[in-house]
């Protein structure tokens, strides 16, 4: 460090600083360069610190190629400010689908151009006694956008001779928190996001890490005892704000992560700096965070440092200028509801790049899925072989196992059900050959995505569905063999076009092939977006499971209608999730884009109809609420048709509910406790309201001040029965019908692990 610093050109030490505020003035962002030439930012809300002074910069990797030259010189120190530009932006745009008909993108921007100059000795030529020095001169722009509900900032690298190609060893963006906040976090992991959320103080993360990891997930790669994922929702202790004792809600995430590695956050504490221990059961050795600067510059007690997902060689990214990082976002408010209504992430993404979006449509669907997840039937067609090779099997001659769900008869049953109940599409998993040994075998050529099992008549079933106004929803489980998927994808999409599919659910279960890569690396993020772009050429909507957590790219490519990227309903069959799980996800996972959570489980005790002893910790009314509280343009009715037929009066809500909206109002919200939201169905005057609570129950108070004045509404309330309980009495609900109008107030009691749903149809 010393050696490099000594070579920096001695530019006048100007400790430049600039401050920019949000349009409403609540948020202030300050930028400066410290005495080592390190960029520093800090952020406040209503005068209270949100991010304490925190360093910015990137550590670059040495490369074996001389052609990359001296470009591995870190982008961390020795900067001076050569330009500061402040601008204002205000625009309202219309999403193709979303929670509201229009979105306002209003921010004040500060763009700081930083210059880094240094002298470096050149290789001495033969006969040349003295070594000449060459002067290097590089520019990096840090662009801050300050909104009323938070900030976004990113690094930009203009095209330039001294910074052309570079490899990122680590991004060193700090987020110094002002206190020991409560956090809702997932273990930082290169390959899975499907753990239960932990709720602890920041100081308790290290102590909780081991028990936070379920090592039996399909792919686990935890990297640090203090590493967590984003979006990270936090809540401060109560502080004085506007003369009141209030909590601040702070959320760190990222926006527009396209051809760059997904960011994690690592809490830098005293132990982190020395630790080289190995977490039990995990093959990824924790690498200590580099010491950040001199002793004086040691981070504050609760500082997160960015930690990018590596490739197979351990590097974090290969860049070519001009380029930029994703936006790093910090949302803040003293009202938890603002965390949910914020459009910060979407606003920081590029406008839609698809010229024609007419083929993209919100979708309600059911599917041949839950009974396999529960274990009552199988994706695979035969149990005859210890393993299979796709090119060596005559499927017409193999012995069926009798448990294959994706068969003509069953699929027709689902099509009939969808047609009868106004569902748009029917997902069918396990339709294509290869499920006999699809996961975790390091098997590259695992699926071809075009060959159906002999009991799945591709043409007949699509024709049958179309004759009833329903479409089939395609399924492409890649088994994380991305090379195989890319080889077959074009033909797979052509097959979809041929038979009339317009949406695909993709899956990335298991470790990535090529081996050594990770689900959230730069190359995998590039892959996911490549699939979305190629799909768009075929007018295909994409719903990617086990892909990286979304960062708002659905604004730019609205055919990305869904992602999983968190612990979904499937875990109700794998031991279950906590009742507060769905009161956390909207604050965390949903910040970057919709989740295909696959709600709607009515028969929560799986042992009622299967050998599975797992159970869902939710009431039926709670299940209905999820269609509102877990916003998505793609909503599944995940339970079996016969279960819905059993509770047909409750299922009426799923028939009625919209999945695209002109307006949304978050009425009540507290992370891990409750969420109440009202939404206005697209192109109508009808409203739907959902409320979901944790294991403690909740009484929602909904003032109907958003209804059209002077109009009457048919109001149907699907509520927990007084004795309902997520464990003891989950199927007890009441349905109440009445007429309401604007200004009235509804008060609805939610059972433990319960919720409610309301439809308000204009008369």
**Residues in touch with its own copies (CB under 8 A):** 63-65, 67-68, 159-161, 164-165, 167, 283, 311-313, 315, 318, 320-321, 385-387, 389, 437, 439-444, 483, 486-487, 490, 511, 514-517, 523, 526, 530
Least distance to its own copies from the beta carbon of 582, Å?
Answer: 31
Q: Specify which residues 427 forms β-bridges with.
A: 367, 473
Catalytic residue among 324, 570, 572, 695: 570
Q: Specify which residues 745 forms β-bridges with.
A: 703
Q: Are strands 634-636 and 363-368 parallel, antiparallel or unpaired?
A: parallel
- Which C-beta is closer to its own copies: that of 315 or that of 715? 315
Q: Which residue, 589, 627, 143, 628, is CA-closest to 339?
A: 589
**CA separation for the pair 100, 532 (Å, rounded):** 23
Other CB atoms within 10 Å distance of the CB of residue 82? 13
- Which C-beta is closer to its own copies: that of 319 or that of 473? 319
- What angle do helix axes 482-499 and 522-537 make, rounded to 10 degrees? 20
Backbone torsion region of residue 705, taken as left when φ is above 0, otherwise alpha when ψ lies between -120 and 50, otherwise beta: alpha
**CA separation for the pair 634, 625 (Å, rounded):** 15
Q: Specify which residues 168 forms β-bridges with.
A: 60, 317
DSSP structure string for 349-405: SPPP--S--TT---EEEEEETHHHHHTSSBSSSB---SS--GGG--GGGSPB-S-BS
Least distance to its own copies from the beta carbon of 123, Å?
Answer: 14
Q: Specify which residues 56 forms β-bridges with.
A: none
Question: 732 to each of 64, 718, 721, 755, how far by Cα in Å?
Answer: 66, 10, 5, 12
Q: Is the dihedral of CA 514, 515, 521, 524 positive or negative?
A: positive
Positions of E strands within 454-593? 471-477, 503-507, 541-545, 560-563
Cα end-to-end span (Å), the chain: 73
- Which C-beta is closer to its own copies: that of 467 or that of 494? 494
**CA separation for the pair 247, 250 (Å, rounded):** 10
Peptide linkage before 722 cis (omega within 30 of 0): no
Q: Which residues make Cβ contacts (< 8 Å) with residue 481, sequence separation at least 6?
A: 443, 444, 445, 446, 447, 513
- Which C-beta is closer to its own copies: that of 328 or that of 443? 443
Least distance to its own copies from the beta carbon of 405, Å?
Answer: 22
Least distance to its own copies from the beta carbon of 10, Å?
Answer: 27
Is 324 a catalytic site residue? no
Q: Which residues make Cβ contacts (< 8 Å) with residue 85, sequence separation at least 6?
A: 109, 110, 111, 112, 113
- Which C-beta is closer to its own copies: that of 285 or that of 441? 441
Least distance to its own copies from the beta carbon of 120, Å?
Answer: 18
Least distance to its own copies from the beta carbon of 692, Å?
Answer: 36
Are 496 and 474 in contact, with CB atoms under 8 Å apart?
Answer: yes
Three-class secondary structure assignment of 649-668: HHHHHHHHCCCCEEEEEEEE
Q: Which residues make Cβ contacts (< 8 Å) with residue 316, sequence separation at least 6?
A: 61, 167, 168, 169, 170, 171, 261, 308, 309, 310, 522
- What angle do helix axes 458-467 and 408-420 make, rounded to 10 degrees? 20
- Which C-beta is closer to its own copies: that of 246 or that of 444? 444
Least distance to its own copies from the beta carbon of 433, Å?
Answer: 15
Least distance to its own copies from the beta carbon of 483, Å?
Answer: 7
Least distance to its own copies from the beta carbon of 207, Å?
Answer: 26
Are 49 and 28 in contact, with CB atoms under 8 Å apart?
Answer: no
Tokens of 195: 């753990």
- Which C-beta is closer to its own copies: that of 89 or that of 215? 215
**CA separation for the pair 353, 355 (Å, rounded):** 6
Q: Which residue, 327, 464, 423, is CA-closest to 651?
A: 423
Tokens of 690: 């959902």
**CA separation for the pair 432, 524 (Å, rounded):** 24
Active site residues: 570
């Amino acid at each position: 460090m010393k050696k490099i610093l000594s070579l920096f050109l001695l530019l006048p030490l100007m400790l430049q600083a600039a401050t920019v505020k949000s349009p409403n003035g609540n948020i202030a962002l300050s930028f400066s360069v410290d005495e080592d030439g390190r960029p520093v930012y800090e952020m406040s809300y209503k005068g209270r610190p949100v991010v304490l002074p925190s360093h910015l910069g990137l550590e670059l990797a040495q490369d074996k190629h001389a052609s990359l030259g001296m470009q591995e010189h870190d982008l961390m120190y020795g900067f001076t400010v050569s330009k500061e530009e402040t601008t204002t932006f205000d625009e309202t745009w219309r999403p193709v689908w979303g929670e509201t008909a229009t979105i306002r993108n209003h921010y004040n921007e500060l763009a700081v151009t930083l210059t880094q100059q240094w002298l470096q000795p050149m290789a001495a030529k033969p006969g040349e006694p003295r070594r000449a020095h060459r002067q290097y001169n590089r520019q990096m722009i840090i662009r801050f956008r300050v909104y009323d509900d938070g900030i976004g900032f990113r690094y930009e690298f203009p095209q330039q001779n001294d910074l052309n190609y570079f490899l990122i060893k680590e991004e060193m963006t700090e987020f110094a928190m002002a206190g020991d906040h409560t956090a809702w976090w997932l273990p930082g992991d290169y390959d899975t996001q499907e753990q239960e959320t932990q709720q602890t103080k920041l100081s308790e993360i290290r102590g909780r890490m081991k028990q936070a990891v379920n090592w039996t997930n399909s792919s686990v790669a935890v990297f640090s005892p203090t590493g967590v994922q984003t979006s990270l929702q936090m809540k401060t202790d109560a502080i004085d704000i506007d003369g009141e004792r209030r909590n601040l809600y702070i959320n760190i995430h990222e926006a527009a992560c396209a051809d760059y590695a997904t960011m994690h956050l690592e809490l830098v504490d005293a132990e982190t700096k020395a630790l080289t221990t190995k977490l039990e059961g995990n093959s990824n050795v924790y690498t200590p965070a580099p010491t950040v600067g001199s002793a004086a510059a040691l981070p504050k007690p609760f500082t997160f440092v960015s930690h990018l997902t590596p490739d197979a060689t351990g590097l974090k990214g290969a860049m070519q200028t001009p380029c930029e990082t994703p936006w790093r976002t910090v949302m803040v408010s003293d009202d938890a509801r603002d965390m949910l209504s914020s459009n910060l992430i979407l606003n920081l993404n590029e406008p839609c790049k698809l010229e024609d979006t007419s083929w993209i449509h919100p979708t309600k669907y059911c599917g041949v899925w839950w009974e396999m997840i529960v274990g009552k039937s199988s994706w695979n067609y035969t149990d005859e072989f210890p393993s299979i090779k796709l090119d060596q099997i005559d499927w017409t001659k193999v012995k069926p196992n009798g448990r294959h769900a994706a068969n003509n008869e069953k699929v027709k049953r689902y099509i009939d059900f969808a047609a009868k109940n106004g569902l748009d599409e029917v997902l069918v998993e396990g339709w294509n050959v290869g499920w006999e040994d699809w996961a975790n075998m390091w098997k590259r050529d695992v699926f071809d995505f075009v060959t159906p099992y002999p009991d799945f008549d591709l043409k007949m079933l699509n024709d049958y569905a179309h004759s009833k106004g329903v479409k089939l929803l395609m399924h492409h489980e890649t088994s994380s063999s991305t090379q195989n998927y890319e080889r077959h994808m074009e033909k797979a999409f052509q097959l979809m076009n041929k038979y009339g599919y317009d949406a695909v659910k993709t899956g990335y279960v298991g470790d990535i092939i090529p081996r050594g890569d990770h689900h959230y690396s730069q190359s995998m993020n590039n892959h996911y977006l490549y699939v979305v772009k190629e799909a768009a050429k075929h007018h295909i909507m994409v719903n990617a499971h086990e892909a990286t957590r979304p960062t708002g790219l659905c604004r730019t490519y609205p055919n990305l209608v869904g992602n999983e990227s968190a612990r979904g309903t499937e875990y109700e069959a794998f031991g279950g999730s906590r009742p507060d799980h769905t009161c956390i996800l909207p604050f965390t996972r949903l910040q970057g884009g919709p989740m295909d959570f696959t709600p709607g489980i009515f028969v929560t005790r799986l042992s009622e109809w299967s050998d599975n002893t797992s159970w869902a910790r939710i009431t039926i009314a709670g299940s209905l609420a999820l269609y509102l509280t877990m916003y998505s343009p793609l909503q599944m009715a995940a339970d079996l048709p016969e279960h819905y037929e059993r509770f047909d009066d409750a299922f009426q809500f799923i028939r009625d509910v919209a999945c695209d909206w002109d307006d949304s109002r978050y009425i009540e919200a507290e992370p891990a406790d409750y969420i109440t939201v009202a939404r206005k169905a697209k192109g109508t005057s009808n409203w739907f309201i959902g409320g979901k609570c944790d294991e403690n129950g909740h009484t929602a108070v909904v003032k109907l001040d958003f209804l059209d004045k002077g109009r009457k509404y048919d109001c149907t309330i699907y509520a927990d029965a007084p004795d309902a309980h997520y464990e003891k009495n989950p199927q007890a609900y009441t349905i109440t019908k009445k007429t309401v109008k604007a200004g009235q107030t509804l008060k609805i009691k939610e059972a433990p692990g319960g919720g409610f749903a309301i439809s308000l149809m204009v008369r």
